[in-house]
Amino acid sequence: MKSRLQFAGHPIHVMVVGFPIGLYTSALVCDGLYLMLHDAFWFRMAYWAIVFGLVTHVTAAATGLPDFLAVMREQKEARRPATSHLVFGVGLLVVQGLNLAVRNGGDIPVGGSVVMPVLVNVIGATLTGVQGWYGGELVYRYFVGVELPDPTGDGLHGKHKGKKHF
């Protein structure tokens, strides 16, 4: 099923999802560095990675919504993984929002304990992995967002249409 939201023939959702994944992963790495080095810089970096992760996560969700709606209309067999991908994505958004809320604006919490922020970050990383798993299922098993070649045509698509490659 071809993606409903594209730029120059490429699905926008796929282009955008790398940002929240990378930013949430960076936040977890920064928390790990904070725990090892006890340098508040890394705790603040985790905070800002989560802030920008949330912004790009909302963008990723908005660009994936047209494909989700198309799956619900056109691909009955992909409805369950698509719904799971959406539900885990919304859950991740809530967890990362909570993660941001327990981070004291990027400053070390009063009393110095970072157990809650780090624990919430680990839960967020787990949800990121599960959501990514379902996203992979949609692409690689159900071909959501993938434009398959026309079996009745010459198989030539895109800007190289008409050129033969040997």
Within 13 Å of residue 82, how many CA atoms lie on the same side as its CB? 22
Q: What local confidence, expressed as pLDDT, does residue 136 receive?
A: 96
Q: How high is the pLDDT of residue 150? A: 77
pLDDT above 60 for 89: yes
Mean pLDDT of 92-117: 94
Among left, alpha and beta (phi > 0; psi -120 to 50; other), residue 26 is: alpha
Question: CA 48 → CA 87, 96, 109, 142, 156, distances in Å?
Answer: 25, 12, 16, 35, 44
pLDDT confidence band for 162 (50 / 70 / 90) = low
* Closest alpha carbon to 75 in 83, 150, 40: 83
Cα(19)–Cα(22) distance, integer angstroms: 5
| Predicted pLDDT of residue 164 | 53
Give bridge partners of residue 11 from the DSSP assignment: 6
Per residue in 3-61, pLDDT (tens digit) is 999 999 899 999 999 999 999 999 999 999 999 999 999 999 999 999 999 999 999 99
Q: What is the pLDDT of residue 126?
A: 97
In angstroms, the first-to-last Cα distance of the chain is 27
Residue-wise pLDDT tens digits, 48-61? 999 999 999 999 99
Give me the helices (H) in the chain, please: 12-37, 40-74, 79-101, 115-140
Mean pLDDT is lowest, of 27-31, 64-68, 156-160, for 156-160
Please state the pTM of the whole predicted model. 0.87
Phi-psi region of 143 (alpha: psi -120 to 50; beta: other; left: phi over 0): left
Nearest CA among 127, 131, 105, 115 for reference residue 48? 105
156 has pLDDT over 70: no
pLDDT score, position 124:
98
Nearest to 138 by CA among 25, 1, 21: 1
- Amino acid, single-letter form, for residue 75: Q
Give the per-residue pLDDT at 128. 97
pLDDT digits (tens, 9 = 90+) for 108-142: 988 889 999 999 999 999 999 999 999 999 999 99
